[in-house]
Chains A and B, each alone.
Chain A
Amino acid sequence: MPRTENDFTQLGIREIRDGVAGGDFTAREVAESLNAAVEAATSLNAFIVTTPEKALEAADATDAARAAGKALGPMAGVPIGMKDLFCTNGVQTTAASHILEGFIPHYESTVSANLWAAGAGMLGKLNLDQFAMGSSNETSYFGNVSSPWRKAGSNAPMSPGGSSGGSSSAIAARLCPAATGTDTGGSIRQPAAFTGICGIKPTYGRCSRWGVVAFASSLDQAGPMARSVEDCAIMLGAMAGFDPKDSTSLDAPVPDWFGNLDADMRGKKVGIPREYRMEGTDQAILDSWDRGAEWLRDAGAEIVDVSLPHTKYALPAYYIVAPAEASSNLARYDGVRYGLRDLPDGAGLQDMYAATRAAGFGDEVKRRVMLGTYVLSAGFYDAYYTQAMKVRTLVQRDFDAAFEQCDVILAPTTPTASFPLNSLNDDPLTMYLNDVFAVPASLAGLPAMSVPATLTEDGLPLGLQIVGRAMDEQSVLNAGLAIEQRAGFTAQPEKWW
């Protein structure tokens, strides 16, 4: 990758860490360059707070460790962005909500702690949809995030996707080589697809949820977002690992995903789920899907048809399960122990709760908390929640059956390319449909990745999604690599910010 003197913004994780380790440049130079890029990009609104001093501190530690001849971690010298859903010790953590504005945790999430231990540094806390609820980054209390991409011939600000839209925007705009994301129903994959980058949601339980602000506990899973498959593999290795503080954490060794990357697909079967050929999907998306299958065939894979019969019901099931869990997970935001308190004159305790939560939560959060409260309430629980959890079992069985016929599944990540900000927010349902292809893998807890495929005629990126068996991130990454090598996606947004 060409770079001008002192401009390290084009480099990825591997290039930075190898360059630092090899003495080609210092970690401090990299951090300074990226701090400057972050500072110059306020118009994207990708960061809620920036922490240049943290980036420099980590860089200096890496440089000192190298000078002392110490072993360097797998992310040594790499400054990254941290989605503001991860609690960071001493640094404001908001989940992009007014209700947590000013909240400064006295603890560090396991995933972020793992990354710092691997030598990474923090450029700042990235904007997101409020409490990770949204698919366009328009629900943040701290304002919309703009994608660096624009439609050909238009200056309209475009959505970077959501909820990890600060992450996707910052990476696509070369403000950071990588960032953390979280994916509850597509929140890593959809923004990655919208911005022409990579992102992987690992198997549920690979990355500890301890210290990550909860949205829907049985679905939430952290993962890396970066500009290449190998960078995702490196960073996922640094994030993942057993955590005794999380009862749902997988007690399994972390494979060397990066070391085992292999784009040779000979002997592998790739399933094409016929139910994903849905009405309303852009022709450009369907075309890119066909090309993806071609690329994988070219890499040696056999392409087979598979069926996931309950696909249609995955999204409505998700919109029962996720809001139900969220309604309970968000009950703790009550103005007593941290965050916003709205205490009207003469208000009692319960009035304080209602006023605080009315003032602190955004519209989408309120909508989902209300929906979740409703579906769990007396008389409705079985019809909604129990039925949704049964459908979830069926969705999982669909995948089990499909994986008897194939090793990975290839599908589009999204039904459309990115759309202009403020164009869909009149209708929550239309917005929810963005995640129609992403949600099934979330319901089943499976590893799933988005890699950039092509650009639309309008010059907007499209992504392809690979879904694998539980615990088999390796096959997902390998298929992603095979696509990446053949897609030759090198397009970058033109700098306007």
Chain B
Amino acid sequence: MSNYRIHGATGDWEIVVGLEVHAQVTSNAKLFSGASTQFGAEPNTQVSLVDAAMPGMLPVPNRECVRQAVRTGMAIEAEIHKWSRFDRKNYFYADLPQGYQISQLYHPIVGKGALTIEADEKAGIPEDRTIGIERIHIEQDAGKLMHDQHPTMSYVDLNRVGVALMEIVSDPDMTSPAEAGAYVRKLRAILRYVGSCDGNMEEGSMRADVNVSVRRVGDTELGTRTETKNVNSVRFVMQTIEHEAQRQVNVLEDGGTIVQETRLFDPGTGTTRSMRSKEDAHDYRYFPDPDLLPLELDDEFLEACRASLPELPDAKRLRYENELGLTPYNARELTADVEVFARFETLLGETASAIGKPEAKVATQVANWALSVAPGVVKSLGDEADVSHGTAARQAAILKMQDAGEISGGQAKEIYEIVLKTGREPDEIADTEGLKQVSDTGAIEAAIDAIIAGNGDKVEQYKGGKDKLFGFFVGQTMKAMQGKANPAVVNQILKDKLG
């Protein structure tokens, strides 16, 4: 339970949040027709006779959409219902050609599950929290209306009609905007790991209906909730909750009551407003779709779904900590998203084999490089960087030279800069640009001898117990070597010579 409170004039309030996330299922074709799901096509070009609800058209479900919903359910350790059904949700709107949405109300394909959001002190999540997931069901997406193309008409594009969605309904388990944000991020990560949704919130592949209510601290009964529809970023979800909770507290403290209603979030102002246009349509007259038989899944299908599941975020994070020896912070950062861990694991593999050590031995070095060094270089270069030049092989070559003491950390960055700008090979850069450390003991010894000779007083003080002066000698040596001496070698020789 978070400490998030709204401090009203009459006392403190806590909030209760539940999310219904609509996630577009990754599939080539739509849920009930063969039309493409590709984003961004010309209007009405990805519309079949079925999607346009021509007379006599019938739905036939896409196996891949069913499979992805089942795999998603397995990833949140939910009950998978071997027997489910499609229902019709009836209402009239121009984005809904059939006059009903095929969805699942009475018998969803996935039942109760859960996911865990990790403690994040800074964000106000003091400890790990398990958020219940009530159900996942499959349903059709609706079309798009455009209101600004004609003075008296709205234009209807049905390309999205019938694209498969998973509606993932959480329990009302979240108690702060931060928890809701963490929940959406974690859910997104799981979906992307599983490959059942690309999680692209800008293209609308993931959007949340945000249910918020407030109650006085200590109350056990839930307050009346509002549902803010189609919020399409983590930040907006958090803003919606902040604004909506504050608004509800204001209303209640002014002696008003909360109306159970549908609201819209305005990203421009960060506020929500009532969506009256849909208010009269609330009698959806759900009933089983008579065009479709019950969906029955056999053990073979379920086994294949399970066998195809990848390592999931929580398991991967623990493995990174326990087997690769990464810090909890690094493990969490590296497993937060598919692309991040995929890049890390490729680089880790390349580096370990280049160096000839087990992955666990180089993991920390690679993790630091991947999380802070490399991104820092990319950032500092800005437009000058062509990240496609920074292949895993080239990064591994840099890490190998660094591991062998041939280059310093600073040189590694410099080399990587040149790699990103030019696409040249790191070994060649190190050679031709003079970006190599000197490990030649002869040259280093000569430099150290000169420094000891010229600083007799400091040598005496050091030998007399002023240990801190060791840094002075290192600095002098590195200066004399123009920064290219291998620090380990310098340290060793200094220790030998100073006694």
Interface of A toward B, CB cutoff 8 Å: 86-87, 93, 95, 100, 103, 105-107, 109, 209-214, 216-218, 244-248, 324-325, 327-328, 330-332, 334, 336-338, 349-350, 353, 373, 376-378, 381, 385
**Do B287 and A337 have beta carbons less than 8 Å apart?**
no
Does any Cβ of A come within 8 Å of B293's Cβ? yes
CA distance A336 to B97 in the complex (A): 8
**Do B90 and A328 have beta carbons less than 8 Å apart?**
yes
Residue of A nearest to B59 (CB): A247
Residues of chain B lying within 8 A (CB to CB) of residue A212: 56
**Do A349 and B94 have beta carbons less than 8 Å apart?**
yes
Residue of B nearest to A93 (CB): B55
Does any Cβ of A come within 8 Å of B310's Cβ? no
Question: Which of A247, A334, A353 is close to B293, meaning CB atoms less than 8 Å apart?
Answer: A247
Residue of B nearest to A389 (CB): B288
Residue of B nearest to A338 (CB): B54
Q: Could you pull out 24 A-B pairs where Cβ atoms are within 8 angstroms?
A: A100-B55, A103-B55, A105-B54, A105-B55, A209-B58, A210-B56, A213-B56, A217-B290, A218-B290, A245-B58, A245-B60, A247-B59, A327-B90, A328-B88, A336-B94, A336-B97, A336-B156, A350-B92, A373-B285, A376-B285, A378-B283, A378-B285, A381-B287, A385-B287
CA distance A141 to B257 in the complex (A): 51
- Which residues of B72-99 have CB atoms within 8 Å of chain A's CB atoms? 88, 90, 92-94, 97-99
Does any Cβ of A come within 8 Å of B57's Cβ? yes
Central interface residue in A213, A328, A353, by most chain B CB within 10 Å: A328
Residue of A nearest to B90 (CB): A328
**Do A217 and B90 have beta carbons less than 8 Å apart?**
no
Residue of A nearest to B60 (CB): A247
Does any Cβ of A come within 8 Å of B29's Cβ? no
**Do A214 and B285 have beta carbons less than 8 Å apart?**
no
Residue of B nearest to A110 (CB): B56
**Do A214 and B59 have beta carbons less than 8 Å apart?**
no
Main secondary structure of the interface of B (DSSP, over half): loop
Does any Cβ of A come within 8 Å of B61's Cβ? yes
Residue of A nearest to B93 (CB): A349
CA distance A245 to B60 in the complex (A): 6
**Do B92 and A376 have beta carbons less than 8 Å apart?**
no
Q: A210-B58, A332-B55 are in contact. List 9 more A-B contacts (CB 8 A).
A: A93-B55, A107-B54, A245-B58, A247-B60, A247-B292, A331-B99, A349-B93, A349-B154, A385-B287
CA distance A338 to B52 in the complex (A): 10
CA distance A349 to B145 in the complex (A): 12
Does any Cβ of A come within 8 Å of B291's Cβ? yes
Central interface residue in B61, B97, B99, B100, by most chain A CB within 10 Å: B99
CA distance A324 to B156 in the complex (A): 28
Would you give the shortest CB distance from B59 to chain A, in whole angstroms? 7
CA distance A217 to B92 in the complex (A): 20
Residues of chain A lying within 8 A (CB to CB) of residue B98: 331-332
Question: Which of A248, A334, A338 is close to B92, meaning CB atoms less than 8 Å apart?
Answer: A334
CA distance A313 to B360 in the complex (A): 74
CA distance A349 to B90 in the complex (A): 16
Residue of B nearest to A374 (CB): B285
CA distance A338 to B53 in the complex (A): 10
Would you give the shortest CB distance from B63 to chain A, in whole angstroms? 12
Residues of chain B lying within 8 A (CB to CB) of residue A334: 92, 99
Q: Mark B278-309, 1 if CB is under 8 A from A, else 0.
A: 00000101110011110000000000000000
Residues of chain B lying within 8 A (CB to CB) of residue A246: 58, 60
CA distance A209 to B290 in the complex (A): 12
Would you give the shortest CB distance from B293 to chain A, in whole angstroms? 6
Residues of chain B lying within 8 A (CB to CB) of residue A103: 55
Does any Cβ of A come within 8 Å of B49's Cβ? yes
Q: Mark B255-292, 1 if CB is under 8 A from A, else 0.
A: 00000000000000000000000000001011100111
